[in-house]
Amino acid sequence: MSAHATTYVPKSRLAKWFESRLPIVGLVHSSFVAFPVPRNLNYFWTFGAILIAMLASQIITGVWLAMHYEPSATAAFNSVEHIMRDVNYGWLLRYAHANGASMFFVAVYVHIFRNLYYGSYKAPREVLYILGVIIYLLMMATAFLGYTLPWGQMSFWGATVITNILAAIPVVGDTIQSLLWGGYSVGNPTINRFFSLHYLLPFMIAGVVVLHVWALHVTGQNNPTGIPIKSGKDAVPFTPYATIKDVFATVVFMILFAWFIFYQPNYLGHADNYVPANPAVTPAHIVPEWYFLPFYAILRAVPDKLGGVILMFGAVLILAFAPWLDTSRVRSCNYRPIYRQFFWVFLIVCVVLGWLGAKPPEGGYVLAARICTAYYFAHFLIVMPLVGLFETPKALPGSILESVTGPGKQVSGSGLPTGAAAAPTTKG
């Protein structure tokens, strides 16, 4: 980041003194004020800001919850209830944290599917994109660890199922399992470890987010046309244009978040997790949180344990290969008439997999999960490479500006306000 040129000019003597020693104000200025943003971005591009807001919310509520929580097999459940009953606004902290995890995943799924639709993963944004996949993996680990902490029935049995899955990994599986358990089964050492890791991983996420944003500011943002910024006319400065749009979208997203916190706080959870963990009683259905359901369906679709584990992790890791599996020269699905339809089929298949993940693994559900699992991988391994080769994309606009104002039109006569150039938008 430090290699960036910046238009920031320190004015006061203190600012000059500081900037010549640590040019961090200039760095922030070039990244969040003067940074050129394609002018045609739609609201799907506000989810990066929403995700940062959610990460901040999770870390703040989580740090406060940790002040009252006791990570032990005998005390965890009651300490969560102590937070709900006796800590001032403890119910708000806990519901905000539990539902915050779900909202974090809502936002990340919109972000991921936006990326897939507009081909944002393609060159030159491969590293940016892979960092995103790493953040997604870390989020999944963090969410899983966090869900075990209330030490209810679903916490305990979820932890048991997932750690047993890891034991299927050849050679190192057993070692990983005993390291996570800290004993011969899920128990008190396990919850201690999980709490420690649950507190660690969000800061690792924050670190990778810094890299993600850094990589974004090297390549610039993709946009609905998928064509790069060619001149100043294609872009607006980040501040105030993207800033105000991001703030507006984040506040709208917070309405959804608040609805769940205040009116449906347990909708996205499981009633079974209000039953204290009992190693002697297995719940009727062990079901993970909604955001893991597609992967859970894939895991159970495979009759072989190791095979299920490979496909489940493969389903996430295959995302990282999308930049090389997709052979199309055109990024955005807006100009890819055939692939666009496959995109929607893929989205539906993911939703159906999620629904199947919540169903018992029997009869027609298993068959449906197998068909969907096969399609999930076929999308990446067959559809992505082949459609790119055979599809004839629609004609791309000449520039981002042209996609906004229509082809061949002059900027000044395009119905946009005259005097725009004189408007005081450029003081940054």
Q: Which residues does the annotation place in the binding site for a ubiquinone?
A: 217
Alpha carbon distance 278, 186 (integer Å): 11
Is residue 148 part of the contact set for another protein (CB under 8 A)? no
Out of 159, 277, 297, 349, the only residue in the binding site for another protein (CB under 8 A) is 349
Is residue 394 part of the contact set for another protein (CB under 8 A)? no
CB atoms within 10 A of CB 337: 12
Specify whether the CB–CB gap between 183 and 189 falls below 8 A: yes
Is residue 195 part of the contact set for another protein (CB under 8 A)? no
Chain CA centroid to CA 315, Å: 15
Nearest distance, CB of residue 367 and another protein, angstroms: 5
Part of the chain binding another protein (CB under 8 A), chosen from 56-64, 99-107, 205-213, 272-280: 272-280
Max CA separation in the chain (angstroms): 75
Question: Hey, which residues between 104 and 133 contact another protein (CB under 8 A)?
Answer: 124
Is residue 252 part of the contact set for another protein (CB under 8 A)? yes
Nearest distance, CB of residue 86 and another protein, angstroms: 9
Is residue 35 part of the contact set for another protein (CB under 8 A)? yes
Is residue 220 part of the contact set for another protein (CB under 8 A)? yes
Part of the chain binding another protein (CB under 8 A), chosen from 53-61, 204-212, 312-320, 345-353: 345-353
Question: Which residue in this structure is represented by tokens 């608040």?
Answer: 258
Nearest distance, CB of residue 6 and another protein, angstroms: 8
Part of the chain binding another protein (CB under 8 A), chosen from 10-18, 51-59, 318-326, 409-417: 409-417
Specify whether the CB–CB gap between 49 and 250 falls below 8 A: yes
Out of 359, 379, 399, 402, the only residue in the binding site for another protein (CB under 8 A) is 359
Nearest distance, CB of residue 104 and another protein, angstroms: 17
Alpha carbon distance 73, 280 (integer Å): 14
Q: Cβ contacts of residue 19 below 8 Å, gap of 6+? A: 8, 10, 25, 26
Residues belonging to the binding site are: 97, 111, 198, 212, 217
Residue closer to another protein by CB (options 91, 199) is 91
Torsion of CA 396, 416, 221, 113, to 10 degrees: -70
Nearest distance, CB of residue 134 and another protein, angstroms: 21
Nearest to 143 by CA among 176, 183, 109, 188: 109
Residue closer to another protein by CB (options 303, 364) is 364
Is residue 420 part of the contact set for another protein (CB under 8 A)? yes
Alpha carbon distance 138, 163 (integer Å): 16
Helix residue ranges, H only, 149-277: 153-166, 173-181, 188-219, 243-263
Chain CA centroid to CA 228, Å: 24
Is residue 363 part of the contact set for another protein (CB under 8 A)? yes
**Residue 94 three-state SS:** helix
Question: Which residue in this structure is represented by tokens 């229509």?
Answer: 406
Is residue 362 part of the contact set for another protein (CB under 8 A)? yes
Per-residue interface string for the shown chain with another protein, residues 56-95, x marking contact by CB under 8 A: ----------------------x--x--xx-----xx--x
